[in-house]
Amino acid sequence: MNKGMAIAGAVILGLSLLFVIGGGALSGAAGEDLENINDDPSPYYTLSENGSVTFTYVDEDKQGSAAFQVLIEMDYVDSDKDGYVDNCFDYNVEVEDDDGTNVTEDVINRGCVYDEYTDKDQMHDGLVIFVSVCETYYGDDKCILNSNYTVSVTDLDNESVEFTLFDTDAYMIMMLEEGLGAGGALAGGIGLISIGCCGIVIGLIILIIGFALSGPQSQPQMMVGQMPMGGAMPANQGVVPMPAPVQSMQPPLSSGATDSSVPDMAAAYAEQFSQPPTE
């Protein structure tokens, strides 16, 4: 086993599992946030008083603004099949600017369009979009930035009719911000899961390779000291040193010596042992 590679693979595998777990938790929370976004439009409703509402036209990003919708309660039916909600044209609308000038024709778009596939307006339960005012994002209404506009609704008898003014632009901005927040978290969670899954595969590969490969081989150690020669015994293993033989040294013969001058050693030796020992 290659210990270094095995440890590296285990570390990558562990971190990747944490990424997957964290990404899953983040994605789950973001999914719940998306499902639980409050899409109720009622906080952006303004109820009329005596059939009249005044609002200020704003456009913070200077890219145009979605309309202020005039909502009237009526039955959502189209019995004559003309594509419009019945009785919608029994009402009149008038819009005035800050100076009291009637600018109705410049700032409204007629509503009351009937959708044959639904039995009521999908956003405003029980209310029908009568007209849209200051639609400058999708339309070309001539509304002046930061100006005040007063909307009034009457019936065919010129009696005031109560209605609800809906700030579509503010509602859309809220939904966009909520959606982007939850959507960003969801995308981040999915990204973590993707990274974690790739890391798990890489970590497993490295871990398997680490277990499959052998580690570094140990180097043979050299013996320090004298190695005995083949067939020879160590010098100090029970061997008693033997003294060197003593050779008798004879005096050198002089060049002038003769046979008569050399003592007869054999005769002397015989004479010594032939005499009886003295007491």
Nearest CA to 57 among 135, 4, 129?
135
User: Which has more pLDDT, 58 or 273?
Assistant: 58
Q: pLDDT at residue 271 above 70?
A: no
Model confidence over 94-128: pLDDT tens digits? 999 999 999 999 999 888 888 877 777 777 888 99
16: pLDDT confidence band, cut at 50, 70 and 90? Answer: confident
DSSP-assigned letter for residue 89: G
pTM: 0.57
Query: Measured between alpha carbons, how far is residue 53 from residues 34, 133, 161 in Å?
Result: 33, 12, 11
Give the pLDDT score at 41.
Answer: 87
Tokens 């005044």 appear where?
54
167: pLDDT confidence band, cut at 50, 70 and 90? Answer: very high
Query: Is the separation of the CB atoms in 48 and 162 below 8 Å?
Result: yes
Burial of 161 (0-12, 13-18, 19+ CB in 10 A): buried
257: pLDDT confidence band, cut at 50, 70 and 90? Answer: very low
**CA–CA dist 29, 182 (Å, integer):** 9
C-alpha count within 13 angstroms, C-beta hemisphere, residue 145: 7
Give the pLDDT score at 11.
Answer: 78
Give the pLDDT score at 45.
Answer: 94
Model confidence over 47-89: pLDDT tens digits? 999 999 999 998 877 788 888 999 999 888 889 888 889 988 8
Give the pLDDT score at 148.
Answer: 95
Q: For 27-35, what is the mean pLDDT?
A: 61
* Residues forming beta bridges with residue 53, ordered by sequence position: 151
222: pLDDT confidence band, cut at 50, 70 and 90? Answer: low
Top-ranked range on mean pLDDT: pick from 14-18, 138-142, 161-165, 248-252: 161-165
Task: Enter the tokens of residue 251.
Answer: 């005096």
User: Which has more pLDDT, 7 or 111?
Assistant: 111
Give, for 167, the enclosing helix (H) or strand (E).
strand 164-167
Q: For 237-247, what is the mean pLDDT?
A: 51
Model confidence over 120-153: pLDDT tens digits? 777 788 899 999 999 888 878 889 989 999 999 9
Q: pLDDT at residue 258 above 50?
A: no
**CA–CA dist 79, 98 (Å, integer):** 40
Return the domain boundaries, the chain. 3-36+178-212, 49-162
